Amino acid sequence: MLRSCAARLRTLWALCRPPVGRRLPGSVPRPELRSFSSEEVILKDCSVPNPSWNKDLRLLFDQFMKKCEDGSWKRLPSYKRTPTERIQDFKTRFLDPKLMKEEQMSQAQLFTRSFDDGLGFEYVMFYNDIEKRMVCLFQGGPYLEGPPGFIHGGAIATMIDSTVGMCAMMAGGIVMTANLNINYKRPIPLCSVVMINSQLDKVEGRKFFVSCNVQSVDEKTLYSEATSLFIKLNPAKSLT
């Protein structure tokens, strides 16, 4: 009798137990990181509208989604973390395995996706393979402030680096920023939407030259201009 009771209790317990989220090896779930440790959050595509997207951003998003219909433009998905296979690939090709700390890697998040909805970088990128153009629609939230009421120059630099970097990656695979040269013409108001329009200008061996401008939604205001140089990483040379 006791045995059957125990069996029944065990079944009950198995049913009541909350589903275990898959945790990455070596990581300890801490309260502030709990929301990021579950598989679903990591694999969520962040480059789709959410409640924090304002009218301008949604309008632009719809315009570009229309452009995707004939296949000339493609929307790029964007995740909080690099998928595990890509991390492994990067490590084995470019790093000295003894030096990489497993624990740190498991806590990591892509910088531009380290914020809750609407507080930091809200963005989506669209790519045109024929024209080699990468367009980023970007809405900067209140955690990106610099001068009161405006976006921090460093946040703008981060978004420019991400956009031109993606443009170079589409053409050259794994690349690293070598030079970034930004001219700030006008400050960008906090919570407004801008378009970062980037273009692959030239390829010379392992060098990829990309330029971009940052404009208002109606294309009437030029906020900044930038040029950049990316270098395709050489698998024969270790980074560490």
Partner 1 sequence: MIRRCFQVAARLGHHRGLLEAPHILPRLNPASAFGSSTDSMFSRFLPEKTDLKDYALPNASWCSDMLSLYQEFLEKTKSSGWIKLPSFKSNRDHIQGLKLPSGLAVSSDKGDCRIFTRCIQVEGQGFEYVIFFQPTQKKSVCLFQPGPYLEGPPGFAHGGSLAAMMDETFSKTAFLAGEGLFTLSLNIRFKNLIPVGSLVVMDVEVDKIEDQKLYMSCIAHSRDQQTVYAKSSGVFLQLQLEEESPQ
User: Quick one: which of 112, 139, 198, 213 contacts partner 1 (CB under 8 A)?
Assistant: 112
Q: Give the nearest distance from C-beta 156 to partner 1 in angstroms.
A: 8
Closer CB to partner 1, residue 59 or residue 189? 189
For residue 64, give the H/E element and its range.
Answer: helix 55-68
Interaction mask 189-208, partner 1, x per CB under 8 A: xxx-----------------
Q: Binding to partner 1 (CB under 8 A): which residues in 149-168?
A: 149-155, 157-162, 165
In this complex, which beta carbon is closest to partner 1, that of residue 17 or of residue 55?
55
DSSP string, 154-176: HHHHHHHHHHHHHHHHHHHSSEE
Q: Which of residues 75-94 bind partner 1 (CB under 8 A)?
A: 82, 86-87, 90-91
Q: CA-CA distance, 58 to 48, in Å (whole number)? A: 9
Task: Give 220's DSSP letter.
Answer: -
Q: Which listed range, 7-15, 53-61, 62-70, 111-119, lies at the site for partner 1 (CB under 8 A)?
A: 111-119
Decide if 45 contacts 79 (C-beta within 8 A): yes
CA distance 151 to 183: 15
Q: Are 132 and 230 in contact (CB under 8 A)?
A: no
Sign of CA dihedral 93, 99, 102, 108: negative
User: Is 45 part of the annotated catalytic residue set?
Assistant: no
What whole-number distance in Å separates Cα of residue 46 and Cα of residue 54?
Answer: 15
- In the bound complex, what is the minimum distance in angstroms from residue 128's beta carbon to partner 1? 23
Residue 209 interacting with partner 1 (CB under 8 A): no
Which residue ranges make up the site for partner 1 (CB under 8 A)? Answer: 32, 82, 86-87, 90-91, 95, 99-101, 104-105, 107-112, 114-115, 119-120, 142-155, 157-162, 165, 174, 176-187, 189-191, 221, 239-240
Residues assigned a catalytic role: 161
